[in-house]
Structure 1
Amino acid sequence: MGDATRQAVVWAALRAALAGRSAVTGRVSLDIVDAGGGTGGFAVPLAKLGHAVTVVDPTPDSLAALERRAAETGVGVKGLQGDAADLARLLPPGSADLVLCHSVLEYVEDPAGALGAVAGILRPGGAVSVLAANSVAVAVHRSLAGRFDEAGRVLSDPAGRWGDRDPTPRRFSRETLTALLSREGFTPGEVHGVRIFAGLVPGMLAESDPEGLAALEQAAAAHPVLRDIATQIHVIAHR
């Protein structure tokens, strides 16, 4: 349910961005780079739509799984080993129409540097799709678990962490993510919340009506209040 919800909300924004880019460029097939794309959850479907897709990922096993997945689907996806910060070394400047940066900025050593590398390979008018963990949601979830001190730490910590044992190096709020994108020369578009209710509704209720929950998630994704408590936040920003 969580993955289906995540993909539905993000895919809706991606389709709109791709359609807009195709209308501007006159090209149906676009050049897409998936930074940290792993086994191709987004890359393979994008290739199936006719786009030229390159996945950059640091893990050889993920790239091997990507190759198998693409072969089974009957599409070609190029895999390169490296991190988001390596994009400028691995790919020519101005070679991409769209870069996916999903669940990456939380873990890279230098988020601003990673976005700078993304900007370097984008063509003028190109876009980056960013999906990142939301610090506000973690505060809500820690409080629901009775971890009130940890919830408070999340709200006061610049990195959005609840303590030294927190496995996520950093999280973002809508404000901090859009500010970071703006500082790196991007123009952020509308922010969507991903998994707003899925992390709050008891599992029994979620399983009883997954379609209804998915529809609710999509309806609330752009809500100006509810999106800010989503587990993840998604934004497409243009260069």
Structure 2
Amino acid sequence: MLDLGGGTGGMAVPLAQAGHEVIVVDPSPDALASLRRRVDEAGVSDNLRSTQGDADDLRTILKARVDLVTVHGTLEVIDDPQRALRRISEVVVPGGHLSVVTAQRLAAVLARALAGQFDQARAALESEDGRYGRTDPLPRRFDKAEVEGMVTHAGFTVVDSHGVRLFSDLVPSVYLESDSERGALVALEQAVATHPEFGILGQIGSALHVVARRHN
């Protein structure tokens, strides 16, 4: 599998520890240096390799097509998300899968409103890129239909799409100081995920998770 924009290996290293063969491609040399240290510490160098690059480099980097590509927290920060998804499609085997996690617009609207920043909330709602102003740390946020459309246009069929982290990014840290409190929050997130009205609630999750299958 390929982890595009995998950075320091927060997801790649555990997957390698579980026995999966993982390739991390990331443009940041600093992130890759941290990743290599983690790989050495975890003893997974046989299962994980990394290289500097971006979506345009994938056909050169990869020796063969892969079964799965994860693109988590990456589409928000790259220059051309649609182009990147097309490049990804070129290196996924027919019937292989794509996993995208990206920031949702409505979550920022809600978070800014709860913080009393009503002008910023409206800006995030109405701006083309989902940003709330010049102080916004993200270059863009997405709506669900937009992400699904880009994924489909790149040659994939969406098989699942739902919001994640509905409450985790909204609950003040003062309420999450103990293991029991953090565990209760995780349990709530899991309960909401199985609720019949989750489709509505998922639209306010801080991130959107889309799983898609490449056309045969």
Q: Output aligned runs, 1:1-40, within 5 Å.
A: 32-40=1-9
Where do 5+ consecutive residues of structure 2 fail to align?
none
Q: 1:220 aligns with which of 192, 201, 208?
A: 192
Matched with 1:61 is 30
TM-score, normalised with respect to structure 1? 0.82
Q: Deviations over 1:39-90 (max 9, x none)?
A: 1111111112222111001111221221221121111211110123322232
Judged with a 3 Å threshold, the aligned counterparts in structure 2 of structure 1 residues 167 and 202 are, in CA distance, closer, same or farther, namely closer
Worse overlay, 227-236 or 159-168: 159-168
CA distance in 1, matches of 2:17, 2:50: 16
SS in 2 for 1:224: helix
Judged with a 3 Å threshold, the aligned counterparts in structure 2 of structure 1 residues 207 and 193 are, in CA distance, closer, same or farther, namely farther
Q: Once superposed, what is the RMSD of the aligned Cα atoms?
A: 1.5
TM-score, normalised with respect to structure 2? 0.90
Q: 2:42 aligns with which of 68, 73, 79?
A: 73
Matched with 1:205 is 175
Shift in Å at residue 187 of structure 1?
A: 1.0
CA distance in 2, matches of 1:221, 1:88: 36
Matched with 1:128 is 98
Q: Is the 8 A contact 1:159 1:171 kept in 2?
A: yes
Matched with 2:121 is 151
| Counterpart check, 1:232 vs 2:207 | yes
CA distance in 1, matches of 2:106, 2:98: 23
SS in 1 for 2:174: helix
CA distance in 2, matches of 1:154, 1:36: 25
CA distance in 2, matches of 1:174, 1:146: 25
Q: 2:59 aligns with which of 75, 88, 110?
A: 88
SS in 1 for 2:140: coil
More helix by share: 1
Shift in Å at residue 221 of structure 1?
A: 3.2
CA distance in 1, matches of 2:192, 2:176: 16
CA distance in 2, matches of 1:73, 1:91: 24
Shift in Å at residue 170 of structure 1?
A: 0.8
CA distance in 1, matches of 2:25, 2:143: 26
Q: Is the 8 A contact 1:98 1:127 kept in 2?
A: yes
Shift in Å at residue 205 of structure 1?
A: 2.3
Identity among equivalent positions (%) equals 46
| Runs of 4+ deviating beyond 6 Å | none
SS in 2 for 1:198: coil
